[in-house]
């Protein structure tokens, strides 16, 4: 099993899939729907009304986020 590299450039995040490891709200699967130079907008797969805005570098924190859906 190979691990995916952490995001190094926001241009590659559009449409990418992410799993939240500390899903307090019970939702853990997200898709990057919008990416700017400083932040990424993630939308929950099961409830599209839930949208998270965070710095794209926050996705490097493996204690909170994992690439793909796990």
Evaluate whether residue 70 is within a structural domain: no
Distance CA 55, CA 53 (A): 7
Evaluate whether residue 5 is within a structural domain: no
Q: How many domains does the chain have?
A: 1
Evaluate whether residue 4 is within a structural domain: no
The answer to whether residues 19 and 61 touch, using CB atoms and an 8 Å cutoff, is: no
67 — phi, psi (to 5°)? Answer: -70, 145
Q: Which residues pair with 47 in a beta bridge?
A: none
Render pLDDT for 14-59 as a digit per residue (tens, 0 to 9): 899 999 988 666 789 999 999 998 999 999 999 999 999 999 999 9
The answer to whether residues 57 and 10 touch, using CB atoms and an 8 Å cutoff, is: no
Evaluate whether residue 2 is within a structural domain: no
Q: Which of 32, 25, 42 is nearest to 11 (CA)?
A: 32
Evaluate whether residue 69 is within a structural domain: no
Query: Model's pTM, two decimal places?
Result: 0.83
């Amino acid at each position: 099993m190979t691990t995916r590299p952490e995001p190094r450039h926001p241009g590659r995040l559009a449409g990418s899939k992410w799993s939240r490891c500390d899903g307090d709200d019970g939702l853990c699967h997200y898709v990057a729907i919008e990416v700017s130079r400083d932040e990424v907008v993630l939308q929950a797969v099961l409830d599209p009304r839930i949208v998270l805005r965070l710095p794209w570098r926050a996705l490097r924190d493996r204690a909170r986020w994992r690439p793909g859906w796990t």
